[in-house]
């Protein structure tokens, strides 16, 4: 046996620290390990809708989803009837013109709305208590019927009034009527989503948690069955009086029930004193708020959503095209900043929502697929990727697949990977999860 070799012929490596020392460190860091796992479980690995459509509670009807799709198709037929004209309006490359146009039309025919929010807050206006009671009960019946016959959106729910004193009781009553109505109609749908607006203090989030706990116990539901989105619409939701990031406290106050942080473009802008003409999702104040939201939510499993534009694609073709270009540009801007969801306020916004989403994923598709394929095969390329980058590449391809921009056959042809393999890269700790709406 030569010098420096062990009995097995392998080179001996000298160490100083004992097993006891490592065990002591493990013991010291065990609480931190548990805290990291609890606070930062990572992305849930499920499909995220690309948008949320808001419809006033009194305007919601059984055929709302199909009506929005039909109106969107009519706008497309009138103002950009073919791939060439649609690409010219939006400035799409020739290579993308046909596949994007085909996919937009197919989406509007098959699944025009991914996430529907029946609004009992700002979009609802002032109604008597009796009227709101009736509208909330009717919304529950219609949602249950839509889920039963397959005509609803994959995700559907309500935005209640906020937890401020003036409207708190009304908001809680509407929430109760809606949820109770769903239970009486057969139970809570898989894609149920609740939205809590105008949150200013983490204690309001805690109050929402307690309400949902009480409802779950009353109906024998599993603990944690009901989650909710937190709308970030006030300056206090971003920066607390002591200078800390309030939104981070809100995520923790939700005790695992927060599913999303939704930016409210116009309420937040107005809160900061931004003039109406400059209230937009690309204003520097909006960018700051969303950057704070993004950092606070990173790794927690809570997802982000951008806000909306109030410029509607209506009127003569020139005005529609101008509004389409604005909406398309804002959506593309949001996607590049990793805000993969936004709000749409009018049926004619749907063509440009899906055009922006599909173009975004198709533009980056071949490069992302090639890089992930090289990483999976451990072959060299012109970019040196790390596991974190492979995770981002896998997630990019899965989001494109889930929204309809890409097909599994296209991805598999270039990567050689199955969906479970893609999921193992995108969410290593959650590989194999389905994309069923939560």
Which two tokens mark 154? Answer: 């994959």
Q: What pLDDT is recorded for position 382?
A: 52
Q: What pLDDT is recorded for position 10?
A: 73
The residue with tokens 């949001």 is 334
The long-range contacts involving 124-131, CB below 8 angstroms and separated by at least 24 positions, are 124/56, 124/57, 124/58, 125/56, 127/58, 129/170, 129/173, 131/58
pTM score:
0.91
Handedness of CA 425, 426, 428, 432 (dihedral sign): negative
Strand-pair category, 228-232 with 51-56: unpaired
CA 346 vs CA 58, 69, 313, 322, 402: distances in Å: 16, 11, 8, 15, 23
Does the domain at residues 51-363 carry the CATH identifier 3.40.718.10?
no
Cα separation, 352 vs 39, whole angstroms = 36
Domain ranges of the chain: 51-363, 366-430
Which two tokens mark 209? Answer: 């948690």
The long-range contacts involving 11-17, CB below 8 angstroms and separated by at least 24 positions, are none
Which of 225, 130, 238 has the alpha carbon at shortest distance from 183?
Answer: 225
Angle value at C-alpha 140, between 260 and 154, nearest 5 degrees: 45
Cα separation, 129 vs 107, whole angstroms = 38
Strand-pair category, 115-119 with 155-159: parallel
Which two tokens mark 350? Answer: 């749907």
CA 193 vs CA 1, 27, 129, 352: distances in Å: 69, 40, 23, 24
In this structure, the number of other CB atoms found within 10 A of the CB of residue 39 comes to 14
Q: What is the pLDDT along the chain (438 residues), one digit of tens a residue?
A: 445 555 666 788 898 989 999 999 999 999 999 999 999 999 988 999 999 999 999 999 999 999 999 999 999 999 999 999 999 999 999 999 999 999 999 999 999 999 999 999 999 988 999 999 999 999 999 999 999 999 999 999 999 999 999 999 999 999 999 999 999 999 999 999 999 999 999 999 999 999 999 999 999 999 999 999 999 999 999 999 999 999 999 999 999 999 999 999 999 999 999 999 999 999 999 999 999 999 999 999 999 999 999 999 999 999 999 999 999 999 999 999 999 999 999 999 999 999 999 999 999 899 999 999 988 887 555 555 678 888 899 999 999 999 999 999 999 999 999 999 999 888 766 544 444 333
Cα separation, 374 vs 364, whole angstroms = 16
DSSP string, 144-207: HHHHHHT-S-SEEEEE---SSTTTHHHHHHHHHHHHHHHHHTTS--TTEEEEE-S--SHHHHHH
């Amino acid at each position: 046996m030569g010098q420096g070799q062990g009995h097995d012929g392998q080179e001996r490596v000298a160490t100083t620290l004992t097993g006891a020392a490592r065990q002591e460190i493990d013991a010291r860091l065990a609480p931190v390990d548990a805290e990291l796992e609890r606070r930062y479980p990572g992305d849930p690995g499920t499909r995220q809708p690309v948008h949320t459509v808001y419809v006033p509670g009194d305007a919601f009807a059984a055929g709302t989803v199909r009506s929005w799709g039909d109106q969107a198709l009519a706008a497309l037929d009138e103002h950009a009837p073919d791939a060439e004209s649609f690409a010219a309006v939006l400035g799409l490359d020739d290579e993308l013109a046909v596949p994007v146009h085909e996919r937009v039309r197919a989406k509007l025919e098959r699944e025009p709305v991914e996430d529907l929010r029946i609004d009992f807050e700002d979009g609802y206006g002032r109604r008597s208590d009796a009227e709101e009671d009736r509208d909330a009960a009717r919304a529950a019946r219609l949602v249950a019927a839509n889920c039963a016959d397959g005509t609803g959106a994959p995700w559907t729910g309500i935005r209640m009034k906020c937890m401020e004193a003036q409207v708190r009781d009304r908001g809680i009553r509407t929430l109760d009527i809606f949820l109770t109505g769903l239970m009486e109609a057969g139970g809570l749908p898989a894609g149920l989503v609740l939205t809590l607006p105008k949150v200013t203090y983490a204690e309001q989030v805690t109050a929402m948690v307690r309400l949902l706990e009480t409802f779950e116990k009353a109906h024998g539901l599993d603990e944690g069955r009901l989650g909710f989105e937190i709308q970030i619409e006030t300056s206090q939701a971003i920066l607390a009086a002591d200078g800390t990031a309030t939104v981070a406290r809100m995520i923790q106050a939700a005790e695992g029930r927060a599913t999303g942080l939704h930016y409210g473009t116009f309420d937040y802008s107005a809160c900061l004193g931004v003039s109406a003409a400059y209230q937009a999702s690309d204003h520097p104040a909006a960018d700051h708020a969303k950057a704070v939201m993004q950092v606070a939510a990173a790794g927690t499993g809570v997802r982000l959503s951008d806000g909306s534009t109030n410029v509607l694609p209506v009127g003569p073709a020139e005005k529609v095209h101008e509004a389409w270009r604005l909406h398309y540009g804002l959506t593309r801007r949001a996607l590049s900043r990793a805000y993969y969801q936004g709000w749409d306020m009018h049926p004619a916004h749907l063509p440009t929502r899906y055009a922006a989403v599909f173009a975004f994923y198709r533009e980056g598709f071949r490069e992302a697929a090639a890089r992930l394929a090289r990483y999976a095969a451990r072959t060299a390329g012109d970019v040196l990727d790390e596991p974190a980058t492979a995770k981002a590449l896998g997630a990019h391809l899965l989001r494109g697949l889930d929204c309809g921009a890409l097909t599994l056959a296209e991805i598999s042809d270039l990567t050689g990977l199955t969906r479970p393999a893609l999921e193992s890269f995108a969410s290593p700790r959650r590989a194999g999860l389905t994309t069923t709406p939560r």
